[in-house]
A and B are shown apart, each in its own frame.
Chain A
Amino acid sequence: MIFVPALMTLVLAFTAWDGVSKPVWLGLDNFRDLLNDVIFWRAIFNNVKWTLIFLTVPMAIALVVASLLLTRRRSQAVYQSIFLLPYILSPIANASIWSNMIFDQRSGVLGYFSRHLLAMHDPLGHVSTALYTVASVDIWHFWGYLAIVFFAAMRQVPSEQLEAAYLEGASGWQIFRHITLPNIVPTIALMFVIVTIFSFLTFDYVYLMTAGGPAHSTELLSTLAYGLAFRSFEVGKATAVALFMSLFGLVAAYSYVWMNRESLRQ
């Protein structure tokens, strides 16, 4: 079910098609146009930035919080549900709350503060801050998932190792660095792959909060492709962009199989 439409796309990427009339064969023109397009390069650059942010910030927060949860015996279940809450809610509701109630100049909390305390701009409306602002909302929604996964992995760390370390007088940091961390490396590696893949597919929050603007400063490959297909009806070009996106995914997927080559050998 995935394969056939993907194959159609592969062919369409070499054509000009408005979605209705017959596709016209173009050869490599779509790709040449894209490579000469500043916005396309900006989208790639933004995607790379997005990936780097997501590989560091939510990972770090999740690792710290998950290891803190280990020491909370009775309340860990409650914390877990609270941290997971933003992750399970509709992106559209989350995006609407953040845009309207927090960032908006007229009705948001930031607007209220800038009227009464200290003047601030709407961080979504500025070319220099928009990408980071959307990314932080997406991180707010996403990090809980990582925390839950890391926490589940940490709970499987053999308790004999932990006890031995306590008895040897290791500090909290030393235990984390030399026992917890090495034990959950496979899970961290998997999450690296997953985060990389999803960073190149990210669509919802950017589309809902800025739609790629202002002045393409938050344009990602996914929003670019969507705009090309459904706003300017350059479906051939849009599929060429989608092909680029899947290249990144392919690299990530292959590196995952490569990392697990031992366990996959039957």
Chain B
Amino acid sequence: MIRSYQRSQLPDRLLLGLVVLVSLAPLLLMLVNAFKQHADIVENPLSLPHSLTMTNFKAAWIGGHFTVGLLNSVLLTGTTVLVTVALGSLAAFPLARHRIRLWKLVTLYFLCSVTVPIQLFLFPLYFFYARLSLIGNVFATALIIAAVNLPLSVMLLRTYILTIPPELDDAAFIDGASPWQIFCYVIFPLMKPGCVTVAVIVALNTWNEFLITSTFQQGDAGFTMTLGYHAMAGAMSADLGIMMAGACIIIVPIIVLFLFLQRLFVDGMTSGAVKG
């Protein structure tokens, strides 16, 4: 058994190495070219930069309106996460604690709301928002993204509450706690880890979201970082050094967050899919 293990090691390693290379090569290409002049990139995209100057990054920061973008991205992500976790945990509590006769129907409803294309409600909603002049309002847009993220979050949080022993609720109930108090003082503190996992996934989705944000955050003042980059891609595609520097800037926050919170990312992505 051990011998067969060792025999298969070399091809395994080569294959894994190849996959690592394919996964990382485009990102390395971005990093290397972010420090190069456009002419150098056109001459050879694989060459190393002459020096590590920050000129491209400065130009990208200004060209992509990243100061406004960062503020809007943070506001949008923060609002979406708060709304999703607050409403999601409140909805998950009764769904986990009561026997619901039509549970199958509720599941189907939640699943349908995950599977309907965003386009199904995007168009009427857009013209509705336009009439209320909510286009470009981060908080209004955050509500839409929260609505899109809610069904899945509710399902995840519900499975999390199911792991909390119901005897705890009963004890609090006997001591005279109202359902609201049970939720605030018993359930919510215990489900915090679940909330953090959901928050991380929702934050990631919101930060990277493109379809909804590009539809509802029109106009320079409403640009998030990704939209600023998108606008820059239209206007500045002539200078790829700046473009790649811009790409670096918008993905750095995600990579930093990911490196610190890896466990939560992996948990959040696998918890719904793997029955533990």
Q: Are A93 and B124 in touch, CB under 8 angstroms?
A: no
A225 CA to B99 CA, complexed, in Å: 40
Known: A153-B274, A245-B119, A246-B120. A100 touches B269 (CB 8 A): no
A107 CA to B108 CA, complexed, in Å: 48
What 1/0 flags go to A251-266 for Cβ under 8 Å of B? 0111011000100111
A154 CA to B5 CA, complexed, in Å: 18
Nearest chain A CB to B256 CB, angstrom units: 11
Q: With an 8 A cutoff between CB atoms, is B71 at the interface?
A: no
Which residues of A (82-99) have their CB < 8 Å from a CB of B?
82-86, 88-94, 96-98
Known: A88-B258, A264-B107. A8 touches B124 (CB 8 A): yes
A89 CA to B23 CA, complexed, in Å: 12
A89 CA to B98 CA, complexed, in Å: 39
Q: Are A8 and B121 in touch, CB under 8 angstroms?
A: yes
> Considering only CB atoms, which chain B residue lies closest to A81 in the complex?
B262
Which residues of A (12-40) have their CB < 8 Å from a CB of B?
12, 19-20
Which residues of B sit under 8 angstroms from A19, Cβ to Cβ?
123, 126-127, 130
Q: Are A245 and B22 in touch, CB under 8 angstroms?
A: no
A31 CA to B232 CA, complexed, in Å: 38
Residue among B27, B117, B211, B250 facing the most chain A CB atoms (10 A cut-off): B117
Which residues of B (62-86) have their CB < 8 Å from a CB of A?
none
Say what secondary structure dominates the interface of chain B.
Answer: helix
What 1/0 flags go to A51-90 for Cβ under 8 Å of B? 0000000000100110011011000010111111110111
Which residues of B sit under 8 angstroms from A148, Cβ to Cβ?
266, 269-270
Q: Are B211 and A203 in touch, CB under 8 angstroms?
A: yes
> Considering only CB atoms, which chain B residue lies closest to A190 in the complex?
B273
Q: Are B251 and A89 in touch, CB under 8 angstroms?
A: yes
Which residues of B sit under 8 angstroms from A6, Cβ to Cβ?
116, 120-121
Which residues of A sit under 8 angstroms from B26, Cβ to Cβ?
86, 94, 97-98, 101-102, 140
Q: Are A239 and B103 in touch, CB under 8 angstroms?
A: no
Which residues of A (225-266) have their CB < 8 Å from a CB of B?
225-226, 229-230, 235, 238-239, 241-243, 245-246, 249-250, 252-254, 256-257, 261, 264-266
> Considering only CB atoms, which chain B residue lies closest to A228 in the complex?
B123
Q: With an 8 A cutoff between CB atoms, is B155 at the interface?
A: no
Nearest chain B CB to A8 CB, angstrom units: 4
Q: Which one of A117-125, A126-134, A165-173 contacts B?
A: A165-173
* Selected contact of B108 from candidates A102, A145, A254, CB within 8 Å: A254
Known: A79-B16, A201-B118. A96 touches B233 (CB 8 A): yes
What 1/0 flags go to B18-43 for Cβ under 8 Å of A? 01101110110110010000100110
Which residues of A sit under 8 angstroms from B269, Cβ to Cβ?
84, 145, 148-149
Q: Are A106 and B119 in touch, CB under 8 angstroms?
A: no
Residue among A72, A107, A265, A266 facing the most chain B CB atoms (10 A cut-off): A107
Known: A85-B255, A88-B204. A257 touches B104 (CB 8 A): yes
Which residues of B (88-132) have their CB < 8 Å from a CB of A?
99-100, 103-104, 107-108, 111-128, 130
Known: A9-B120, A85-B255, A140-B22. A252 touches B115 (CB 8 A): yes
Which residues of A sit under 8 angstroms from B111, Cβ to Cβ?
253, 256-257
Q: Are A152 and B16 in touch, CB under 8 angstroms?
A: no
A171 CA to B5 CA, complexed, in Å: 10
* Selected contact of A83 from candidates B23, B99, B103, B108, CB within 8 Å: B23
Q: Are B147 and A97 in touch, CB under 8 angstroms?
A: no
Q: Are A84 and B266 in touch, CB under 8 angstroms?
A: yes
| 19 A-B pairs with C-beta separation under 8 A | A19-B127, A65-B15, A71-B9, A83-B19, A90-B210, A92-B229, A92-B230, A92-B250, A96-B247, A101-B244, A102-B26, A153-B270, A190-B273, A229-B126, A239-B120, A242-B120, A250-B112, A257-B104, A257-B111
Binding site for B on A (CB under 8 A): 1-3, 5-6, 8-9, 12, 19-20, 61, 64-65, 68-69, 71-72, 77, 79-86, 88-94, 96-98, 100-102, 106-109, 111-112, 140, 144-145, 148-149, 152-153, 156, 166-167, 171-172, 186-187, 190-191, 194, 197, 200-201, 203-204, 207-208, 221-222, 225-226, 229-230, 235, 238-239, 241-243, 245-246, 249-250, 252-254, 256-257, 261, 264-266
